[in-house]
């Protein structure tokens, strides 16, 4: 009996301890943050690739001082790089079977890939990815030249403009994960931002531009990216500003229009100032914004060598909410230039005719400094007859246009109906009066 009582006591003690420990353990488990959902599509930059760009991603790059290029890499300049799905082993893939490679030979570049994602306005998000890079005049696997700044960093546009040039992009810390010999040097890059709209755009960047930075191999590889919601904004912060007006939907991945800062003045073309007196003296300190529309037949957001220009695209330049100038593309390589602009921030937008669809974002926000020229190229292409594609196109534009048509034709019908009813009413009244008059004549 004694033994079984002590056994029972032991069992009770064990049970008591288990009961006491149980809630604590459960509480600890509950306190751990749940596995966050990765909001990115194709976060590992896997197949399919189109034009060297991983599916669900869009390419972006900046051009600067590129025509003509400074001799002997004596000054900073940026030239469009090439995108490629990396297949090679040897440390060039972080996970899965591919990584996104971007690179140039000898010409320095700034660019990468981007993706726009639906999010909860006001929530904070963390974007991370892994990158490694190589700058060398020698063939792989010679070690990377650590004197070259690879300028790799992560960015988030809190309102999802899809434009690398947007002024409110939050950029993370910059690093240069140089490969050493035949192995990758994968390092994590990260940035956090609070969404101000219902979308954010994440940017993967390398910027190796700078004097004497040119090398035969200037390559960066990106892999294993992640965008997670890390929580609502702190309660003591003011509520986020109202979301911006909805941007016209761009087909495919929104790819920003090509932005080029050039040093030579392109020929001036048709300019339709809406608000500027024509006899204003030219302020020598003014800046110039030049725009053009290219025929982006393959809808990759870039003007490829075999692609020409698009006529009939209307450009608007707005300062704040006020549109200060408009122009229409002429379908040649002659850009539409808006001159005598004060230094400041401008929103430049494209409006395409109904038979076209945009392949880059509809607007770009640029910071114009005195004496500078900013060139923007917007992409669009002729809508296909494919019903699917057109139905997925610019629902807001199509919808509003349809509503306009509908309401105007609806008004026409109702006016006709009113006139018809009125005419019938008058006829009835006249008939009654006539009958009464006839009736009175007969009686008299």
Per rule CB under 5 A, is residue 347 in the interface with Ca ion? Answer: no
User: By CB under 5 A, which span of 11-19, 76-84, 93-101, 125-133 interacts with Ca ion?
Assistant: 93-101
Q: Kindly determine how many residues on this chain lie close enough to bind Ca ion according to the rule CB under 5 A.
A: 16
Per rule CB under 5 A, is residue 161 in the interface with Ca ion? Answer: yes
Per rule CB under 5 A, is residue 86 in the interface with Ca ion? Answer: no
Q: Which of 159, 213, 291, 375 binds Ca ion (CB under 5 A)?
A: 159
Per rule CB under 5 A, is residue 298 in the interface with Ca ion? Answer: yes
Per rule CB under 5 A, is residue 367 in the interface with Ca ion? Answer: no
For Ca ion, the closer CB: 109 or 222:
222
**Binding to Ca ion (CB under 5 A): which residues in 5-64?**
44-45
Q: Which of 275, 304, 342, 404 binds Ca ion (CB under 5 A)?
A: 304
- Phi/psi for 17 (5° steps) reads -65, -45
Q: Which of 296, 339, 357, 377 binds Ca ion (CB under 5 A)?
A: 296
For Ca ion, the closer CB: 46 or 339:
46
Q: Which of 42, 300, 363, 375 binds Ca ion (CB under 5 A)?
A: 300
For Ca ion, the closer CB: 296 or 339:
296
Q: Which of 52, 96, 122, 141 binds Ca ion (CB under 5 A)?
A: 96
Beta-bridged to residue 170, according to DSSP, are 156
Q: Which of 63, 86, 107, 166 binds Ca ion (CB under 5 A)?
A: 166
For Ca ion, the closer CB: 300 or 394:
300
**Binding to Ca ion (CB under 5 A): which residues in 386-415?**
none
For Ca ion, the closer CB: 288 or 376:
376
For Ca ion, the closer CB: 65 or 291:
291
Q: Measuring CA to CA, which residue among 266, 318, 302 is closest to residue 377?
A: 302
Per rule CB under 5 A, is residue 157 in the interface with Ca ion? Answer: yes
Min. distance of Cβ 140 from Ca ion in angstroms?
A: 19
For Ca ion, the closer CB: 148 or 222:
222
Token pair in block for residue 155: 């960015």
Reduced 3-state DSSP string for the chain: CHHHHHHHHHHHHHHHHHHHHHHHHHHHHHHCCCCCCCCCCCCCCCCCEECCEECCCEEEEEEECCCCCCHHHCCCCECCCEEEEECCCCCCCCCCCCEEEEEECCCCCEEEEEEEEECCCCCEEEEEEEEEEEEECCCCCCCCCCCCCCCEEEEEECCCCCCCCCCCCEECCCECCECECCECCCEEEEEEEECCCCEEEEEEEEECCCCCCCCCEEEEEEEEEEEEEEECCCCCCCCCCCCCCCCCCCCCCCCCCEEEEECCCCCCCCCEECCCCCCCCCCCCCEEEEEEEEECCCCCCCCCCCCCECEEEEEEEEECCEEEEEEEEECCCCCEEEEEECCEEEEEEEECCCCEEECCCCEEEEEECCCCEEEEEEEEEECCCCHHHHHCCCHHHHHHHHHHHHHHHHHHHHHHHHHHHHHHHHHHHHHHHHHHHHHHHHHC
Per rule CB under 5 A, is residue 357 in the interface with Ca ion? Answer: no
For Ca ion, the closer CB: 255 or 288:
255
- Per the listing, tokens 């430049």 go with 348
* Per-residue contact flags (x/-) with Ca ion for residues 194 to 233, judged by CB under 5 A: -----------------------------x----------
For Ca ion, the closer CB: 96 or 143:
96
Q: Which of 168, 285, 333, 405 binds Ca ion (CB under 5 A)?
A: 168
User: By CB under 5 A, which span of 92-100, 111-119, 182-190, 370-378 interacts with Ca ion?
Assistant: 92-100
Per rule CB under 5 A, is residue 276 in the interface with Ca ion? Answer: no
Q: Measuring CA to CA, which residue among 211, 1, 180, 204 is closest to residue 91?
A: 180
Instruction: Give residues in contact with Ca ion (CB under 5 A).
Output: 44-45, 95-96, 99, 157, 159, 161, 166, 168, 223, 296, 298, 300, 302, 304
């Amino acid at each position: 009996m004694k033994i079984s009582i002590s056994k029972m006591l032991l069992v009770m003690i064990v049970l008591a301890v288990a009961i006491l420990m149980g809630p604590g353990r459960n509480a600890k488990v509950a306190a751990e943050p749940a596995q966050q959902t990765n909001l990115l599509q194709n976060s590992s930059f896997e197949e399919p690739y189109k034009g060297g760009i991983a599916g669900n991603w869009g390419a972006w790059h900046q051009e600067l001082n590129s025509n003509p290029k400074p001799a002997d890499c004596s000054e900073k300049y940026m030239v469009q790089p090439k995108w490629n799905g990396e297949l090679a082993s040897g440390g060039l893939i972080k996970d899965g079977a591919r990584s996104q490679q971007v690179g140039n030979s000898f010409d320095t570049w700034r660019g990468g890939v981007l993706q726009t994602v639906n999010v909860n306005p006001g929530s904070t998000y963390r974007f991370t990815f892994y990158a490694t890079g190589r700058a060398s005049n020698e063939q792989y696997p010679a070690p990377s030249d650590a004197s070259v700044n690879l300028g790799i960093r992560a960015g988030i546009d809190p309102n999802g403009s899809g434009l690398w040039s947007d002024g409110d992009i939050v950029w993370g810390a910059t690093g240069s994960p140089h490969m050493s010999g035949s192995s990758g040097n994968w390092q994590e890059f990260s940035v956090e931002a609070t969404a101000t709209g219902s979308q954010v755009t994440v940017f993967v960047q390398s910027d190796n531009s700078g004097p004497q930075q040119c090398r035969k191999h200037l390559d960066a590889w990106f892999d294993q990216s992640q965008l997670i919601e890390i929580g609502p904004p702190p309660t003591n912060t003011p509520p986020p500003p109202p979301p911006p007006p909805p941007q016209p939907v761009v087909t495919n991945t929104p790819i920003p229009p090509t932005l080029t800062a050039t040093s030579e003045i392109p020929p001036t073309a048709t300019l339709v100032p809406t608000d500027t007196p024509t006899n204003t003296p030219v302020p020598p300190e003014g800046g110039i914004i030049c725009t053009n529309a290219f025929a982006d037949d393959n809808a990759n957001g870039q003007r490829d060598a075999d692609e020409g220009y698009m006529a009939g695209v209307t450009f608007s330049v707005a300062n704040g909410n006020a549109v200060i100038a408009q122009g229409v593309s002429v379908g040649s390589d002659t850009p539409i230039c808006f001159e005598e602009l004060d230094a400041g921030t401008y929103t430049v937008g494209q409006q395409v005719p109904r038979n076209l669809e945009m392949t880059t974002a509809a607007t770009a926000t640029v910071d114009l400094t005195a004496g500078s020229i900013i060139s923007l190229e917007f992409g669009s292409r002729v809508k296909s007859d494919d019903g699917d594609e057109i139905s997925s196109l610019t629902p807001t534009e199509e919808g509003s246009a349809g509503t306009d048509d509908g309401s105007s034709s609806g008004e026409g019908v109702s006016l006709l109906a009113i006139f018809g009813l009125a005419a019938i009413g008058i006829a009835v009244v006249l008939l009654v009066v006539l009958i009464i008059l006839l009736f009175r004549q007969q009686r008299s």
